[in-house]
Amino acid sequence: MKRRKAREYVLQFLYACDMNENTKKVCDYDFLQEEIEKFWDRNIEEKDPDIKSFANQLIEGTIKYIDKIDNIIQRYAAKWNIDRILTIDKNILRFSIYEILYRPDIPYQVTINEAIEIAKKYSTRESSAFINGILDKIAKENFCQMIKLKGICEDRNK
């Protein structure tokens, strides 16, 4: 549950970056540490250092690779322009894709399950299926590349 709570904080942070024009300007990787400190100052009720540490890792990684992640979202959500995807859903996808691609210590099944549960809590009824579909495709493709068994994986994805 600690990691779920951390992921919810990550969603709040990324959502603020997207929604607030002032925050959007400084949610640049160069200003990130300052923004994270301000975020925790506003969320003073959170005292658990493990939650903060995990949330910070996800925020930093997601922002560092956000352009690449957004390109991946656009590619896998082929019928959707990224600007039309709900902000909540887009940010759940962002930090989840970061986890799948850059955090091999976290099983992709856990990441997908957490994303679905967070979507059920914070987004629309349809969002969890949308998010599941995109993340599942990305995870399977990434897994295939990691184990270098493209032939087997290509057959499984048909």
User: Which has the higher per-residue pLDDT, 148 or 64?
Assistant: 64
Question: Which domain range does residue 114 map to?
Answer: 2-157
107-114: list long-range contacts, CB under 8 Å, 24+ apart: 108/135, 108/139, 108/142, 108/143, 109/139, 111/135, 111/139, 112/136, 112/139, 114/3, 114/4, 114/7
Write the CA distances from 66 to 16, 129, 148, integer angstroms: 15, 23, 26
Number of compact structural domains in the chain: 1
Q: What is the pLDDT of residue 142?
A: 78
Query: What CA–CA distance (Å, rounded) separates 96 from 109?
Result: 11
- Report the mean per-residue pLDDT for the chain: 86
> Quick check: 7 and 113 in contact, CB under 8 A?
no
- Tokens of residue 101, six digits: 């691609």
How do residues 17-63 score in pLDDT, each as one tens digit?
Answer: 888 765 555 566 667 888 899 999 999 888 999 999 999 999 999 99
Residue 100 has pLDDT above 60, yes or no: yes
Query: What CA–CA distance (Å, rounded) separates 106 from 36?
Result: 23
Residue 148 has pLDDT above 50, yes or no: no
Residue 146 has pLDDT above 70, yes or no: no
**Local confidence band at 81 (pLDDT 50, 70, 90 cut-offs):** confident
CATH of residue 145's domain is: 1.10.940.10
Entry pTM: 0.86
Q: What is the pLDDT of residue 150?
A: 43
Residue 130 has pLDDT above 50, yes or no: yes
Residue 152 has pLDDT above 70, yes or no: no
